[in-house]
Structure 1
Amino acid sequence: MTVTSKMNSVSRQSVLSRLGPGGLLYAANKIIAVASGKDEDRWRGKDEGALFKRWRRTPSSEPATAVPAPATPQSQPSELLKFLAINALELSAPASDALLKSRSSEWFQLSGHPGSLAPAGPGTVWKRRAAGDHPTHNPERDAYEALAACPYMRSAIPRYYRDLEYGGEHFIELQDLLHGFRDPHVMDIKMGTRTFLEDEVRNARARPDLYEKMVRLDPKAPTESEHAARAVTKLRYMQFREQQSSSAEQGFRIEAVKLPGQPPLTDLQKVKEPKQLAATIARFLGDEKHARRAITARLREIRDLFERSEFFRTHEIVGSSIFIIYDEERVGAWLIDFAKTRRVPEDIVVNHRAPWKQGNHEEGFLFGLDRLINIIETAGLSEKDSEPEVTR
């Protein structure tokens, strides 16, 4: 469904005058109720499986005390109330300054292109269509719609709500995976031995600009012939980039990490060797044995669902990530990012573990997931003392 949610100032004022304070309160309550209902479906849907596992490090011995919210006089509806009311009429819109300020300590974009995600309201985010997508073709939307309809995979991905247009741009609305967590540990892990599409490297023309990029990263990387030509192909450069991280050898790389009370670590390209990966994951897990067990069980579940899904038997999953979150009460892990998911030719069979050769469409997703599960299971607490090479 495509929804254009833009109202001009005249129509907004007209709606406000017709609703009045009581109507504003009713509309705001409606959208809050809908959001609450979404939360119940999102977190506790019996038909879709548990999206996270609850656990408590220290059970509370005191009963929770509800603090009543200050009443808003009906004769003077607040600006936030007006915003919620209009949102209820428009279905949804990007979060207002008021909501963003109230959620600033809870919501953040850990990785990906800056500005590609925005909180849309309590419990949902809008994700902008990937640059370069054809106006009538949105691979990520198509993947989410197919996976949401798959009985195996719908519990392994963020809840998908809709495709929409707002302000001349196209978005998909998804479950906000951070919603409900309090100052959590968060890790974004890019999966696969190959994170570029085969279409991206078909051109065999050697390019001087890619040679310059390679030299800036590693002056010794080009061969003698490449130094002489001062140019490399796109395939050569992309494979070089995969080898710079743990992607090529381990089938995954850690994109970003967020620990409670600290800014995100987003430059983790040098975390490449198995010992470095284990040290980084051990620091992420800390002393939380319950979280380690729950995360491992969840990743095994995702792997099992992946292997049973017809969708993944017929698609290459390039550039997707595993998103892991936990706090003192909850643990969650989801498969995200499908902008580079493509259907493979009918005569191709992929198992997601075989080495990639141009034309076979293997991307190593399950190869990497096998190794990720093993490292999470075996990363010793003593490995936290080995600092990974990272910058903030």
Structure 2
Amino acid sequence: MTVTSKMNSVSRQSVLSRLGPGGLLYAANKIIAVAAGKDEDRWRGKNEGALFKRWKRATSSVETRSPAVPAPTVPTSQPSDLLKFLAINALELSAPASDALLKSRSSEWFQLSGHPGSLAPAGPGTVWKRRAAGDHPAHNPERDAYEALAACPHMRSAIPRYYRELEYGGENFIELQDLLHGFRDPHVMDVKMGTRTFLEDEVSNARARPDLYEKMVRLDPNAPTEAEHAARAVTKLRYMQFREQCSSSAEQGFRIEAVKLPGQPPLTDLQKVREPKKLTATVARFLGNDESVRLAISTRLREIKNMFEKSDFFRKHEIVGSSIFIIYDDERVGAWLIDFGKTRRVPDDITITHREPWQQGNHEEGFLYGLDRLINTIETAKLSEATTEPDVSR
């Protein structure tokens, strides 16, 4: 397949182009509903209650590892449970309604997600994501961001397809495209963007905390200064900046959260890979020896950067803790901007470039600074390094 055809497949937004054989029923129902002048909810409404109840039963049985219903039959053309879970982690979702994954609660991916019970299946190719626990009932930053970006002609093709917000069982969700739906045993990489991945109001309290000092010492006994050792306490800002410096975030503006290669267990212990040589070696391994894939991914990331720079939304918002999610298989290449739970509008008198160093109050987060370096890393990685497994140990 040529690079052009790969890039064309990236940009296709039609439902049929994203569905495998198992999703044709969904497409057919959607076409029929549109023809009848009905909303998609007519199809989803018939099934979502049963799906949600099955998910609730499954997640409530996680502690006992005793699934309530048999695992559904998954067509061979659909992603494996592990790959689905990788996408879920990248979207900051958690336990999918998969008995196989619920049984494998000790898996690294489950531990990494950190938000058990936040996902419910919606239909072929879609997921429900629960509103973050800390969000004010009248304020849902992730929903607001997805709705604004879905309406933006510059950005709608750079994000997962957003369907709607819904309430079920007294809880609020947004429904999103399952990015892995339709790919066959793909290469997957989740990259956290920015030099700052914490909100300014998270570090506004200048009180020194003993618990954060203990966390810092566990990670690196030599990290605290003499004064911090004497006080046995550090501020939240000091701790969060220390965490950024442990990874490549502070210097490079991005960090590789995880990589999954076909037929291999996921590489999840990557957050502390910060040396440029190790970063490029990890990227080279992800790319394999396929120069056309490298070019397609680079082209797609440059497209996302151009859309980002043209977007009024990003001129007025800080994009904290978002990720670039990259997927490719033998037929298609894709990359999307995901995770907007920490996206915030900046004050009207503030102008941000997404490239300048952060200082308290300027709201810079380094997203474009990191994207420039991610693109450069992908474009300069020596593909021959793909044959050598990079050292990703702590």
**Into which bin does the TM-score normalised by the smaller protein fall?**
0.7 to 0.9
Quick one: distance in 2 between partners of 1:118 and 1:388? Answer: 35
Q: Which residue of 2 aligns with 1:219?
A: 221
Quick one: distance in 2 between partners of 1:168 and 1:390? Answer: 43
Q: Which residue of 2 aligns with 1:201?
A: 203
Structure 1 residues 37, 174: closer, same or farther in 2, change over 3 A? Answer: farther
| Aligned match for 2:252, one of 250, 253, 273 | 250
Contact 1:351/1:362 (CA < 8 Å) preserved in 2? yes
Deviations 1:230-277 (A, max 9, x none): 000000000000000000000000011111112222221221111000
Structure 1 residues 119, 164: closer, same or farther in 2, change over 3 A? Answer: same
Name which one, 1 or 2, has greater alpha-carbon Rg: 1
Quick one: distance in 1 between partners of 2:336 and 2:31? Answer: 21
Contact 1:285/1:291 (CA < 8 Å) preserved in 2? yes
Q: Which residue of 2 aligns with 1:33?
A: 28
| Aligned match for 1:191, one of 190, 193, 203 | 193
| Aligned match for 1:179, one of 178, 181, 184 | 181
Quick one: distance in 2 between partners of 1:119 and 1:391? Answer: 35
Q: Which residue of 2 aligns with 1:324?
A: 326
Structure 1 residues 36, 125: closer, same or farther in 2, change over 3 A? Answer: farther
Identity %: 74
Contact 1:202/1:235 (CA < 8 Å) preserved in 2? yes
Q: Which residue of 2 aligns with 1:109?
A: 85
Contact 2:246/2:272 (CA < 8 Å) preserved in 1? yes
**What letter matches 2:372 in structure 1?**
D
Deviations 1:188-222 (A, max 9, x none): 00000000000000000000000000000000000
Quick one: distance in 1 between partners of 2:255 and 2:129? Answer: 23
Gaps of 5+ in 2: 1-22, 34-41, 56-68, 93-112
Q: Which residue of 2 aligns with 1:307?
A: 309
Range 178-187 or range 113-122, more displaced? 113-122
Contact 1:188/1:322 (CA < 8 Å) preserved in 2? yes
1:127 CA drift (Å): 1.2
1:364-375 matches, within 5 Å, as: 364-375=366-377
Range 189-198 or range 285-294, more displaced? 285-294
Contact 1:276/1:386 (CA < 8 Å) preserved in 2? no
1:36 CA drift (Å): 7.6
1:224 CA drift (Å): 0.3
| Aligned match for 1:287, one of 286, 289, 303 | 289
Quick one: distance in 1 between partners of 2:295 and 2:366? Answer: 24
Contact 1:268/1:389 (CA < 8 Å) preserved in 2? no
- Does 2:64 align with 1:89? no
Quick one: distance in 1 between partners of 2:352 and 2:44? Answer: 44
- Does 2:102 align with 1:127? no
Structure 1 residues 146, 218: closer, same or farther in 2, change over 3 A? Answer: same
Q: Which residue of 1 aligns with 2:379?
A: 377
Quick one: distance in 1 between partners of 2:335 and 2:299? Answer: 10
RMSD over aligned CA atoms reads: 2.5
- Does 2:109 align with 1:152? no
